[in-house]
Amino acid sequence: MSSILISLAGKERRRQPGLKNPTGTPPSGRASDPRTGRRVTSAPVETIVLAYNKPVGLITTHDDELGRKTVAPASCGRKRHKWHAIGRLDADTDGLLLLTNDGALVHHATHPSSKVPKTYMALCRGILQEEQIQQLREGVELTGGLGTSLPAEIVVEGFEENATLLRITICEGKNRQIRRMLLAINSQVLTLTRLSIGDISIENIDSGR
């Protein structure tokens, strides 16, 4: 895990040794002192964010009933139940995954109203035409009843044999959204890597670190 300065939707937070609560109100808990019976207030909980370059094949969850490898034990040795993913990645997608102990930060970073950009590199089946690319830019109807995607930034990075390489930036994160967007224009994702969330990227972070 590399030390990073996080800027999500204009709110800067420094990872390690700790971050201020993004809501502006440090969370605290109340408990009883077993010796006196008096109510005591615990110290504020610091927000921690970890950047992890997830390899293909890992599941973004704490435990998997099928016994598949998961992100939680691979990414850090801290208490696993405290960690929340800021935007999950499916097993077939690699790239940047942010983990935090702050549920409010997860909500802030993933809610469309925050407009936190997420950038992906997608190798797509077929040589895509300008009309198809424009459809992605304007928004397409997603399968699974997820509605229409918001406008996206699409950059054609190049072409391979019967494939197109796209850099895609979106400000929402519906389930398997990039894959559903490509299906909507009669294409298919062959490989998918998340490059960045906000100002944080996987640059200089080795896969599996």
Catalytic machinery residues: 90
Furthest CA-CA distance within the chain: 74
Give dist(CA 71, CA 59) in Å, integer: 6
Q: Is 75 helix (H, G, I), strand (E, B) or coil?
A: helix
**Do the strands 49-54 and 189-197 form a parallel or antiparallel pair, or are they unpaired?**
unpaired
CB burial of 127-138 (b: ≥16 within 10 Å; e: otherwise) equals ebeeebbebbee
Give dist(CA 194, CA 56) in Å, integer: 11
CA dihedral 69, 116, 119, 79 (to 10 degrees): -20
